[in-house]
Structure 1
């Protein structure tokens, strides 16, 4: 009888250890939590990003990777809920998201609190600047609004613009852009004669546009993203505004062209090289790596859905892939040590070519892109035209 009990205990111990070993092996995979805006005002950004996630590598640095994708509906509160679920329930090693600045700023708090590295695919520099204890956990794949504001005002100056109007989103994206314009416009000897705001969900901007038209600036910059940025542009044209109109890199997708239609003819904007990759000279340092993403995306989805926003998501995967090479040998996925090693490895990335530029990270620079990450583009007959 005692021998039977002993055998049962031994069998139970072996089974328990086997189960524990299987669980440990299963958890050894890298887990990535993705929160993006596939519905709501930023859906035109989030949908190509979600498409792109399906193209992410299934294995990185010898480890299988699981991607858990949630929709934050373009809402900051939902983005926080998503981030907390991904970290506390799904035990992810990395967060990617979100599609827009307000939701990314909200996720930042969760990333810092839980010491989980995060790669944002939103636009504002304030997500990673100034560097502090919270932002040390966050990295960014998009061009800073400051870089793009410099490109826009330089183009304005080169084309005789002396006065400008500004109308931006009434949230962190618009305010971030205004902060950058306020810095660079005076240096180009451009006077801002009108400054207005509108919400992403607004259906009319008549009052703001009337003030803009009354001020009659040489050019107007619309600091919005996705299809909502078409609203003030269409209203300006309806009110007879004849000056130059500039948009930000936040509108670089076909949905914006569709909604804005003929009212966008002649509009200028800075964008990542991949938007016009086939028009770039072969000497462009980003052309080869941008084509890698473009060809892969077009092979899986309709070309009309290709956008720079999907490229930002792709670049997040590129950063993860590069960082994992040095993080995996240091610690086991699913642990606090691995998250810390991944953060450190992201910070040390150098000369990584991706779809929007070449990344060089550092402890004080968690974006890592330089002016090779932008080109000027003009909208002509419903298409993007590279402006050398």
Structure 2
């Protein structure tokens, strides 16, 4: 028979090892459910309830924090999730500028970050730090190329750019300069504004004086509305384009008649009833139905970006578990590697094909040309 001391030692050893053998997977989520980015962050926070609760037999726990749209609060939230909660990955934050400010912390800790933000600057150009970041929205150039092609086919020769003075608007300006030059379209005005501004009259007047054939507004969430309503109030009669940052129903409600006829390229989620059947349509349709059942309203596409992050993690976790236990550097590193090799994975926004050089991974299946007709989103035909 085993001595009492040996039995006690074995019991203590098994007690210590048991939590490791059944360690749960912990995913942090940082969203801006309050503050200026709330129209983006609220559906993202709400979507957490719809993310996978278990993967490959392992329990998945989500720790959700609100950064109030404040970049400083985003940093605090990331540090808390990494240092105190010891999460295996982080979904978020909601804002482009907020995301740019925490990439270093994800990289230093070796924690995969799935960013549901607009700017491609979080993953491009690829660097040692950015290799820990994956982007669950379409890169700006994919959306912009569809818009520029439409502009060219419509005879647009000159455009004005009107964007937010942050990574979102700045990257759009960079991308548009490259694409319009190739298309023979001249940029005659390039104005910026702050998301919290209560007036953009001065910038709008400068664009009106330049008299472009069309104007592209590059702004996320509710900040996309005021530039357009101001231009319309001042008598601008040209075509107005928006980015996928405006792809939410409050844009229609807040803009009213001023946004009628707007053209943008965005997710198929806006026009599910009009697009052909596909794996992405089926996933998006179920997500929308489940969200409506839980909250009584349709989610903005930004919520779909978080849902897709959950699907990407669900797809990558089984492979990562072969390399290490949740809560360990080995598991996080393997999770990053598995995410980087995602192939032909359909989700609400399109189909993901990730590579070491491309951490967004969308192709033309991740966008639709859409317009506003009779106050509703509809496919541009």
TM over 0.5: yes
Residue 282 of structure 2 corresponds to 288
Residue 3 of structure 1 corresponds to none
The answer to whether residue 294 in structure 2 is matched with residue 300 in structure 1 is: yes
**Deviation of 1:329 (Å):** 2.2
Task: Choose the corresponding residue for 1:376, options 338, 345, 369.
Answer: 369
Residue 60 of structure 1 corresponds to 55
Instruction: Render the CA deviation track for 1:311-368: whole Å, top value 9, x for unaligned.
Output: 1111100100000121112211010100011011001110101011111111111111
Instruction: Render the CA deviation track for 1:195-248: whole Å, top value 9, x for unaligned.
Output: 100000000001001111111111101100111111111111110111111111
Residue 226 of structure 1 corresponds to 221
Residue 91 of structure 1 corresponds to 86
The answer to whether residue 213 in structure 2 is matched with residue 213 in structure 1 is: no
**Deviation of 1:298 (Å):** 2.4
Residue 359 of structure 1 corresponds to 352
Task: Choose the corresponding residue for 1:261, options 243, 256, 261.
Answer: 256
**Deviation of 1:13 (Å):** 4.4
How far, CA to CA, are the matches of 1:291 and 1:128 in structure 2? 28
How far, CA to CA, are the matches of 1:375 and 1:152 in structure 2? 10
Say what the alpha-carbon RMSD is for the aligned residues.
1.6
Give secondary structure in 2 for the equivalent of 1:68.
Answer: strand
- 8 Å contact kept, 1:292–1:355: no
Residue 328 of structure 1 corresponds to 321
Moved more, 288-297 or 162-171: 288-297
The answer to whether residue 132 in structure 2 is matched with residue 140 in structure 1 is: no
Residue 245 of structure 2 corresponds to 250
**Deviation of 1:25 (Å):** 4.8
How far, CA to CA, are the matches of 2:141 and 2:191 in structure 1? 19
- 8 Å contact kept, 2:351–2:365: yes
How far, CA to CA, are the matches of 2:38 and 2:224 in structure 1? 13
- 8 Å contact kept, 2:51–2:307: yes
- 8 Å contact kept, 1:33–1:69: yes
The answer to whether residue 155 in structure 2 is matched with residue 165 in structure 1 is: no
The runs of 5 or more residues in structure 2 that have no matched partner are none
Residue 175 of structure 1 corresponds to 170
How far, CA to CA, are the matches of 1:50 and 1:261 in structure 2? 27
Paired residues in the alignment total 379
Give secondary structure in 1 for the equivalent of 2:358.
Answer: coil
Residue 179 of structure 2 corresponds to 184
Residue 33 of structure 2 corresponds to 38
Residue 20 of structure 2 corresponds to 24
Residue 239 of structure 1 corresponds to 234
How far, CA to CA, are the matches of 2:222 and 2:256 in structure 1? 11
- 8 Å contact kept, 1:169–1:175: yes
**1:71-110 matches, cutoff 5 A:** 71-110=66-105
Moved more, 374-383 or 14-23: 14-23
Instruction: Render the CA deviation track for 1:85-134: whole Å, top value 9, x for unaligned.
Output: 10000000001111121111112111111111111100111111111211
**Deviation of 1:23 (Å):** 3.9
Instruction: Render the CA deviation track for 1:279-328: whole Å, top value 9, x for unaligned.
Output: 1123x563223223222222222234x11101111110010000012111
Give secondary structure in 1 for the equivalent of 2:349.
Answer: coil
Moved more, 163-172 or 249-258: 249-258
**Deviation of 1:12 (Å):** 6.2
Residue 119 of structure 2 corresponds to 124
The runs of 5 or more residues in structure 1 that have no matched partner are 1-5
- 8 Å contact kept, 2:91–2:115: yes
Give secondary structure in 1 for the equivalent of 2:343.
Answer: coil
Give secondary structure in 1 for the equivalent of 2:348.
Answer: coil
- 8 Å contact kept, 2:20–2:325: no
Moved more, 114-123 or 285-294: 285-294
